[in-house]
Amino acid sequence: MASSAFALVFPAACPLCGRECAQPGWAGLCDSCWAGIRRWEGPVCAGCGLPIAAGADDSAPESLCGVCRRGEYEFDFARSFAVYAETPRSAILLLKFRRRERLGLQLGELLAPLWSAHGEFVELENPVLVPVPLHRARQRERGFNQAEVLARGLVRGLKKAGKAAPQVDADCLARTRPTLPQAGLSFRARQENVRGVFKVTETGGVSGRDVVLIDDVMTTGATLSSCASALKKAGAQRVAALTLARATPQFPDTETPGLAEPVDDFG
Ligand SMILES: [Zn+2]
Ligand SMILES: [Zn+2]
Q: What is the mean pLDDT of each run of 10 residues along the chain (267 residues)?
A: 51 82 70 91 92 62 84 95 93 87 93 86 83 91 93 96 92 89 78 90 88 95 96 95 92 53 37
Annotate 125-157 with three-state secondary structure: CCCEEEECCCCHHHHHHHCCCHHHHHHHHHHHH
Calpha distance 147→154 (Å, rounded): 11
**DSSP 8-state class, residue 251:** S
Nearest ligand atom owner, CA of 224: 2
pLDDT reported for residue 10:
60
pLDDT reported for residue 62:
64
Distance of CA 208 to the CA centre of its chain: 24
> Could you tell me if 198 and 227 are in contact, meaning their C-beta atoms sit under 8 angstroms apart?
yes
Nearest ligand atom owner, CA of 13: 1
Q: Using alpha carbons only, how large is the chain's radius of gyration in Å? A: 18
pLDDT reported for residue 55:
54
Interval between CA 92 and ligand 1 midpoint (Å): 14
Look at the alpha carbons of 171, 68, 104, 134 in this order and tell me if their dihedral is positive or negative. Answer: positive
Nearest ligand atom owner, CA of 22: 1
Interval between CA 95 and ligand 1 midpoint (Å): 15
Nearest ligand atom owner, CA of 86: 1
Interval between CA 195 and ligand 2 midpoint (Å): 19
pTM of the model: 0.86
Distance of CA 159 to the CA centre of its chain: 19
**What is the CB-side half-sphere exposure of residue 161 using CA atoms within 13 A?**
18
Distances (CA, A) of 82 to 47, 101, 109: 16, 19, 13
pLDDT reported for residue 260:
34
Instruction: Choose among 117, 112, 89, 108: nearest CA to 33.
Output: 89
